[in-house]
Structure formats: structure tokens, C-alpha cells
Copies of this chain bind each other. A is one copy, B any other.
Amino acid sequence: MTPVVPTPATSPTSTADAVAAARAAAPSLARTPLPARADRMRAAADALDAHATEIVALADTETHLGPARLTGELARTTGQLRLFADAVEEGSFLDVTIDHADPGATPVPRPDVRRMMRPIGPVAVFAASNFPLAFSVAGGDTASALAAGCPVVVKAHEGHPRLSDLVGRVLADVLPSGAIGVLHGRAAGRELVTDPAVRAVGFTGSEAGGRALYDLAAARPDPIPFYGELGSVNPVVVTPSAVATRGAAVAAGYVASYTQGLGQFCTKPGLLFLPAGHGLEPALVDAVRAVAPGPLLGEWIRSGFDAAAAALAALPGVRSLVPPVPGSENTAAPALLSMPAARFLAEPAAAQECFGPASLIVEYAHPAELLAALNTVPGALTATVHTQPGHDDDLVRAVLDVTTERAGRIILNGWPTGVAVTWAMHHGGPWPATTAPLHTSVGVAAIRRFLRPVAYQDVPAELLPEALRDGNPLGLPRRVDGVLAV
């Protein structure tokens, strides 16, 4: 393994300085015209692409995710910045709403009221271990905050500190002073969350770590929004008709999905609900055995995975189809477990996320047992159904009813790993999938997290933000007197 040179933790003074720089930059960032804001984001994407070789090499050194995956992740990261730049120019995110005065309104006359979204202020971003680019210094939270017009201070993940500094330097070269900062160390992270000038937090990580920081944000004298993506088991339901018509393909797809990137995805399918007597066990075991052991993000992830997988395998009623084997250094092998739904219902610990290449099959004897089991699954980022069109329709509808209440994205006959960065994507869900079920951390709607509305009442045109003036000088989509116009 490459020896890791420890990156020094950021001192309290340096943390305060970084936040002060962000705060000083905020008014100018907020005032920047939308086309210039969009151009800066495109310049940031271009600069990252220009440093691709260096970035991918350093990312691979620190995370062992491999050049192919990291090259794709960088493309996703820069594509995200460019998509969000397009959204900035399109302008819907400002949610411009204008109600002209109505002197004849009852019970009282109405003033002229105009509302738009404004940047919330300095944003703290906690980078993830498992996406060193797409959910890190230049990742989705940063892109969202910059699109909203907010400066960002990133608490780098300890798994890729030098990459974080490199990406931070690349961004700092093309962004205004104070728009991006990078800190190291847990203490610096806690200081960020409690700094009075920080107005919102984005976080991707574990449930324990996220909960601790969420509690810190909520305990402030002035609590601030905390957008945390914590953990998700991503249940997959397979109907009898899917087993009958394409069971082998489902088995292969499932193993490929949960072992992809050695299970280090927030959308990894951690639970597979199969009808009892499915007969897919040999195919599943063969597929898992065909996946070679490999390096996890670090030794700390490997030891956590070993402990979690062993605890899962030791639960009453769990059978090990491919037993978890303790790894060494950062290397882990995939594991596959199984238990009857009747036992699953009695073991809440079986429905907890196990980060890494392990997954649990839950065998249901009948539809009511399946639905009861699904009702105990914690809030999730995704829920997936595999079925044969035209069959099991009542079952599928019942499953969709239950899972829609408990997940942020519903997938039919596909796999949850892979999250498209588009206008429609929702990457969120009820606790513990996220701390903020109204919001997404992927896709254009992620920008909303860092905006707050301000209404202007009877403010004359010369004092109004341009976006709110009559005649629509910026050409924005707007709702005027209740009517939406584009």
C-alpha cells in the first residue's frame, strides 16, 4: 500500500479564518449576475478536466477505486457543475413570484409583493469517503451551494486528504477569493457546524457521524439546516413472476449491484426479498464466488465491514450462503446471507446498513409476510421491484404503496446503484436515509437546500433586485398574479 502522509488537522484559528473568508465573500457572490455565476462554474469544471490525469492518479492512490471508476466519477463531477450552471442561467431556481397590488382585495387591500430565492450564506460541506470526487470538495453539495450563490467551506474526508487539497486548489484558482475553503480534522468539522457565520450544512457519511453533527447543528443557539445523507439499506423485492421468467438474470444483476465498487455505494442493495422456494441459491452463490476480493477505501472501512458483516451473520435465523471472512489490511471479500422473513420481522438489527460487499436475502412465504417485512425497513434512498409485466400486479401495487412511503426513489426492473444527475433525480428519503426528507443531494433540485426566500413589499423598481422588476429584464420563468409563465 502507498504510505499515507498524515495531513495536519486544521487549527481552530485557521477554521475561523476560512469561515470569515467565506462570510466576506458571500455578498459579492450573491450579487454576481447569473450568467457570470454560471460561467465560473463552467470554468471550475474545465479546470478540473484540465487536471484530470493528476486528479485521477492521486484519487486512486488514496482510495484504491481504480482509474476507470475515478475517470467516470470525475466526468460526473464536472458534468454536474455544468448542468447546475445551465440551471443557474435558466433561473427557475429563483422561484420568482410577483403579486401586483390589489386595492379591491377582501377582507383588506393587498400590497405589491414580490418573492425570490436568495443565497442562504456560507455553507459547510462534509465530504464522503466513497465518492472522493462526486461527493467531495467539488461534489454535489459544493456545486449546489455555488449555484445558489453561497461560499463553501469543505471539511475534507480523512480518506483522501491530499486529493481534497488538490481539488480545492484547482477550484480556488478559478473562483473568487473565499468562495471555496478546505479544512482537515474532526475538530475543525465540529467548529464549522457551530460557527455562527455558517448558515447550512451538507453531509454525506455514516449514520453515527451524521447524527452527531446533526445534533450539534440542532443544539446551536440558532439551529441551522443540516442536510445529511446517512445510510440506506435499499430494499429490492423480487416477485414470483420475476423468479419464474428471469430468475437467473435477477440473481446476476443483484450480485453485480451489491458488489459493485465492493459495496461502497449509498445505494447498494442491502436487502433482497425473494419468494421462499426461489431456487436461485446456487446461481447466487456462484455469482458471489466469482467476485474477487479487492481493496476497500481503507483499513478503517475494512475493519468496520468485517465487524458489521460478522454481526449480521451471527443474528438468530441468518444463514451464511457465502460466509463473511475477515480481511487483512484494506482487502475484503463479498459475503451473502439469508434469513426467513418471519425471523427478519423479529430482528430489527437485520435491517441496518452494512457498508461494504455484503447483502441479506429475506425469503417471504406469502405476500402479507413480505409487506409486513417491508414495513419494518428503515427509511431508504431507494426501493426496487423486479417483476414480470402483466403478472403479480396486485402484489406489485401493494409493494409500491409501502415502499413509496419509505424511500426516495422507486426503481422497476433495474438496480439502485448508479444515480443519474438530472433535473428529475431525487436522492433522498426519510430518516435515516437523510436528515431532511424534503431535499435531494443529487440533481438540480439540490440547489434549493441553500436558498431562502425573501419577499419585497411595495419596493420601488429601482430598489428591487432585477429578477423581480416588471418587464422581466432577466428573462426568467416567473409566476405573476398567480399565473406561471416561461
Interface status of A438 (Cβ within 8 A of chain B)? yes
| Min CB–CB distance A275 → chain B (angstroms) | 20
Q: Does A428 lie within 8 Å of B410, measured CB to CB? A: no
Q: Does A423 lie within 8 Å of B458, measured CB to CB? A: no
Q: Does A484 lie within 8 Å of B482, measured CB to CB? A: no
Q: Which residues of B contact A222 (CB under 8 A)?
A: 379, 430-432
Closest chain B residue to A378, Cβ basis: B222
| Min CB–CB distance A348 → chain B (angstroms) | 11
Q: Which residues of B contact A411 (CB under 8 A)?
A: 457-459
Q: Which residues of B contact A426 (CB under 8 A)?
A: 115, 453-455
Interface status of A99 (Cβ within 8 A of chain B)? yes
The segment from A232-240, A280-288, A302-310, A397-405 that touches chain B is A397-405
The segment from A105-113, A292-300, A363-371 that touches chain B is A105-113
Q: How many copies does the complex hold?
A: 2
Q: Number of residues in A with C-beta < 8 Å to the partner? A: 86
Interface status of A208 (Cβ within 8 A of chain B)? no
Q: A438-B451, A451-B438 given as contacts; is B397 within 8 A of A463 (CB)? A: yes
| Min CB–CB distance A377 → chain B (angstroms) | 13
Q: A225-B438, A410-B456 given as contacts; is B75 within 8 A of A424 (CB)? A: no
Interface status of A413 (Cβ within 8 A of chain B)? yes
Q: Does B452 lie within 8 Å of A410, measured CB to CB? A: no
In the complex the two chains form, what is the Cα distance from A75 to B71 in whole Å?
61
Chain B proximity mask over A396-436: 1 for CB below 8 Å, otherwise 0: 11001100110111111110001010111110101110011
In the complex the two chains form, what is the Cα distance from A435 to B217 in whole Å?
12
In the complex the two chains form, what is the Cα distance from A76 to B224 in whole Å?
32
Tell which of B86, B121, B436 touches A225, judged by Cβ atoms closer than 8 Å.
B436
Interface status of A289 (Cβ within 8 A of chain B)? no
| Min CB–CB distance A32 → chain B (angstroms) | 15
Q: A72-B108, A120-B437, A451-B438 given as contacts; is B458 within 8 A of A413 (CB)? A: yes
Chain B proximity mask over A205-238: 1 for CB below 8 Å, otherwise 0: 0000000001100100011110000000000000
Q: Does A114 lie within 8 Å of B430, measured CB to CB? A: no
Q: Which residues of B contact A185 (CB under 8 A)?
A: none
In the complex the two chains form, what is the Cα distance from A448 to B448 in whole Å?
12
In the complex the two chains form, what is the Cα distance from A405 to B121 in whole Å?
8
Q: Which residues of B contact A431 (CB under 8 A)?
A: 222-224
Interface status of A194 (Cβ within 8 A of chain B)? no
Closest chain B residue to A452, Cβ basis: B437
Interface status of A27 (Cβ within 8 A of chain B)? yes
Q: Which residues of B contact A405 (CB under 8 A)?
A: 121
Q: Which residues of B contact A115 (CB under 8 A)?
A: 424-426, 445
Interface status of A5 (Cβ within 8 A of chain B)? no
Q: Which residues of B contact A436 (CB under 8 A)?
A: 225
In the complex the two chains form, what is the Cα distance from A104 to B336 in whole Å?
34
Interface status of A63 (Cβ within 8 A of chain B)? no
Q: A99-B423, A218-B215, A422-B113 given as contacts; is B72 within 8 A of A410 (CB)? A: no
Q: Which residues of B contact A407 (CB under 8 A)?
A: 454
11 pairs of residues in contact across A and B, judged by CB atoms under 8 Å:
A71-B107, A75-B106, A92-B484, A113-B422, A214-B223, A389-B460, A411-B457, A412-B457, A412-B458, A414-B458, A423-B482
Chain A interfacial positions (CB closer than 8 Å to B): 27, 71-72, 75-76, 79, 86, 90, 92, 95, 97-99, 105-108, 110-111, 113-115, 118, 120-121, 199, 214-215, 218, 222-225, 379, 389, 396-397, 400-401, 404-405, 407-414, 418, 420, 422-426, 428, 430-432, 435-438, 440, 445, 448-449, 451-460, 463, 477, 479, 481-482, 484-486
